């Protein structure tokens, strides 16, 4: 069974540009979450999508957005990039079975560097 796939693995962008990151969850998983990981802040929750709808949202500015497609694949977009957006962006998928608590499966992440 294939794991969570994130593309690209590495990205270098210039301040003010925008970027789109992609995540393909494990087959059958309908919930996809995005996290930002930085050395100083640890793992910060961005948003979660379930069945193409944003179900939860963290405390990030509106420059950060996402979406989920009918095949559960998800993308996140960051517009008007700032130096502080440099981070490892992690995607996680869960099976999200009603009545069952399931663990998250993480992709390897996309390392974004803003220069």
Partner 1 sequence: AQSVAQPEDQVNVAEGNPLTVKCTYSVSGNPYLFWYVQYPNRGLQFLLKYITGDNLVKGSYGFEAEFNKSQTSFHLKKPSALVSDSALYFCAVRDMGGGSYIPTFGRGTSLIVHP
Q: Does 13 bind partner 1 (CB under 8 A)?
A: no
Hey, which residues between 61 and 100 contact partner 1 (CB under 8 A)? 90, 92, 94, 96
Write the binding mask 29 to 68 for partner 1: x where contact by CB under 8 A, - elsewhere.
--x-x-x-----xxx-x--x------xx------------
CA angle (41 as vertex; 30, 82 as ends), nearest 5: 85
Smallest separation (angstroms) from partner 1 to the CB of 90: 6
Q: In the numeric block, which tokens belong to residue 34?
A: 């995005």
State the Cα–Cα distance between residues 64 and 80, nearest whole angstrom: 10
Smallest separation (angstroms) from partner 1 to the CB of 94: 8
Residue 57 to residues 10, 13, 48, 75, 83, Cα–Cα distance (Å): 25, 25, 6, 15, 22
Q: Which is nearer to partner 1, 42 or 84 (CB)?
A: 42
Site size for partner 1 (CB under 8 A)? 25
CA 53, chain centre distance (Å): 14
């Amino acid at each position: 069974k294939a794991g969570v796939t994130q593309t690209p693995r590495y990205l270098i962008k210039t301040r003010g540009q925008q970027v789109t990151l992609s995540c393909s969850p494990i087959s059958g998983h309908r919930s996809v979450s995005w996290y930002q990981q930085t050395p100083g802040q640890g793992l910060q929750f961005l948003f979660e999508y379930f069945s193409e709808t944003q179900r939860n949202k963290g405390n990030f500015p509106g420059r950060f957005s996402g979406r989920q497609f009918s095949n559960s694949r998800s993308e996140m977009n960051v517009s008007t990039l700032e130096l502080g957006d440099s981070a490892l962006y992690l995607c996680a998928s869960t099976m999200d079975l009603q009545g069952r608590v399931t663990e998250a499966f993480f992709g390897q992440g996309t390392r974004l560097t803003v220069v």
